[in-house]
Amino acid sequence: MDASIKVAIFGGTGQTGSLIVDGLLASSANFEVFNMTRESSFHSAANEKLRERGVTVIKADTKAPKQDLVELLQGIDIVIAALHFNALLDQVTLARAAKEAGVGRFVPCNFGTPGIRGINLTNDLKLDILDEILTLHLSYTVIDVGWWSQEALSAAPLPSGRTSHWFLERMRIIPGDGNAKCAFTSTADIGPYIARVLADPRTLNQKVLCYTDVLTYNEVVDIIEEESGEKTEKIYKSAEKIFEDLAAGKAALEANPDDWEAKFKVIMNQYYNSYGLRGDNTPQIAKYLGYLDFQELYPDAKGDTMRMVVQNVMQEGLKAKSDIKH
């Protein structure tokens, strides 16, 4: 058997991190996974489940002194940061520690949509982290996965409620005229896609856009209606309204930098602008920005299409209703 690839993930029990861990554990590559967790979560139910699956859980804190992190990362091949938005800047110290510890590949907390500076606050922070990585001459792989297919279903909730368990109020709109192309990946494929990228030496010191579908939001709604046999209400959010809400959010944030609701309003409307108006979240734009294309790297990869996602989510919804009745 080939020597194991030791992977330390920070945030392995989080929403995105847990998907990545699932992919690493299911991979044919010999990944040995370490979940780096805060002391307060060391004995959590989520970490106990990871232990049962063969994951080593280690006490670690991204806010710890650099030298403490250096010691923890000795012998680690890959470090993955799967952090909350508020902790993105913790990656500066983490990257410096990874460099000093001799980590072979650092995977920053991207896992979203590609874009340029000045459009999206979240993306700007991620680009700041990449600048730090490049300054350190630290080997890396940036991985973006576009928009989650399941979240797109919130644009057209079904009257029957069969997709309500995935409904997010903030996503209950179609940005612009709904005709901008957008790259989508199902949550079921995020982990396997990332695991494949990390097992590939070609992706070292590269950016990769993983995706399964490239669709407009109008096409997504068409698929939802075709598969469900139901008609949905379309709520379009004009460019004018997006920029109006964006300006209001920025003004509120300037008045109170700790206003999380205002910050969230800014972030979401910046996303609407980026993927819904500008069309930044596409393989074509990603290539322009220097990304490798997942589907070109792995033409044999088979992920869940939007149509399959709609079918699966509706089945989950029916099962949930059946379980409640019983």
CA distances to 161, 196, 262 from 235, in Å: 17, 37, 22
Query: How far from the centroid of its chain's Cα atoms is residue 296's Cα?
Result: 20
Question: Which residues have CB under 8 Å from 127's CB, separation 6+?
Answer: 117
Q: How far apart are CA 102 and CA 54, in angstroms?
A: 25
Query: Is 126 annotated as catalytic?
Result: yes
**Residue 211 phi/psi, 5° resolution?**
-170, 160
HEC string of 110-149 equals CCCCCCCCCCCHHHHHHHHHHHHHHHHCCCEEEEECCEEH
Q: Which of 126, 207, 237, 263 is catalytic?
A: 126
CB 106 within 8 Å of CB 138: yes
CB atoms within 10 A of CB 36: 24
Q: From the CA atom positions of the chain, what is the Rg in Å?
A: 20
Q: Where are the alpha helices (DSSP H) in the chain?
A: 15-26, 45-52, 66-72, 91-101, 121-136, 149-152, 187-198, 217-228, 239-255, 260-271, 283-288, 294-297, 306-325
- The tokens describing 239, both together, are 């460019």
Cβ-Cβ contacts under 8 Å for 215 (sequence gap 6 or more): 181, 182, 184, 223, 306
**Residues carrying an active site annotation:** 126
